[in-house]
Amino acid sequence: MKKVIVGGNWKMNKNVQEAQTLARQLCDRLSDVNFADIFICPPFVDLYPINIILREKESKIMLGAQNMHYEPKGAFTGEISADMIKSAGGKIVVLGHSERRHIFGEDDEYINKKVASALKNELIPLLCIGELLEERKAGKTEEVIESQLRGSLNGIEIDDPEKILIAYEPVWAIGTGITATPEQAQEAQKFVRKVLADMFGQSIADGIRILYGGSVKPDNAEALISQPEVDGLFVGGASLDAESFEKIVRATK
């Protein structure tokens, strides 16, 4: 039985002081939780200060970064490397988030290099995939998901399903308040697993945790996590408040 995993993507929110406050609140509120793995992905500058708090509080909450460059170092102004994330306490790195794809123009080939670099550096890539509303309306959801998976994971070898996470995040559900229905999440994630099985074999695919993301809130978390193919939740807006994130985590029990 896979353990449920719930993550918060803080996006470009919380300065260092605000981030420290929220991290302390989460440590206190979630200290008893052992039914789910929990991670938070704050902005880069907040990683190390939060890591200190997580260690002080002996918290099991894991730290993730929201992006990285694939090169180990060099003249890449504005970028940070896998090693930098690890040295700040990061265990997970979000790659290919729809905001990176659609606002910053990242494509599968570019994301693929980042996935390879994360794995090489023993960071867990959380690969995000998902279709636009036009694509869903045109009946292209599966085609888009499959090409994102095959493109972003091209040439990647996975010998242990715990070394990677996948998030299905339909773009039309992100930040819009429109959640995919539990059935839509189930159907898409079943298809994600089918593609993963074709790429890596059934037993690896069965072991990979696939998260749903897109307007997850305290009142829809339970219905989403009840779907057999939904192994976790990736929360944006509702992870910025300790009470609402706690409610979502507890709804997965």
Per CB under 6 A, residues contacting ligand 13P are 9, 97, 169, 174-175, 213-216, 234-238
d(CA 244, CA 217): 7
Q: What share of the chain is helix, strand, coil (3-state, %, to 5)?
A: 45, 15, 40
Q: Report the nearest approach of ligand 13P to the CB of residue 128 (Å).
A: 7
Rg (C-alpha) for the chain, rounded Å, is: 17
d(CA 28, CA 167): 27
Closest to ligand 13P by CB, 101 vs 163, is: 101
Q: Report the nearest approach of ligand 13P to the CB of residue 60 (Å).
A: 21
Residue 67's H or E segment, with its range, is: none
Read off the amino acid at residue 68.
M
Residue 162 token pair: 């715990």
Q: Report the nearest approach of ligand 13P to the CB of residue 175 (Å).
A: 4
Q: Report the nearest approach of ligand 13P to the CB of residue 64 (Å).
A: 11
The verdict on whether 79 is a catalytic residue reads no
Q: Which of 131, 169, 229, 246 is catalytic?
A: 169
Closest to ligand 13P by CB, 111 vs 204, is: 111
Residues 6 or more apart whose CB falls under 8 angstroms from that of 36 comprise 3, 4, 5, 6, 232, 249, 252, 253
Read off the amino acid at residue 177.
G
Q: Which of 97, 99, 131, 246 is catalytic?
A: 97
Residue 217 token pair: 């809130």
Closest to ligand 13P by CB, 204 vs 210, is: 210
d(CA 235, CA 213): 6
Taking CB atoms, the residue at the shortest distance from ligand 13P is 236
The verdict on whether 97 is a catalytic residue reads yes
Closest to ligand 13P by CB, 129 vs 235, is: 235
d(CA 171, CA 115): 21
Closest to ligand 13P by CB, 172 vs 200, is: 172
First to last CA, the chain: 14
Q: Report the nearest approach of ligand 13P to the CB of residue 79 (Å).
A: 20
Cite the active site residues.
Answer: 97, 169
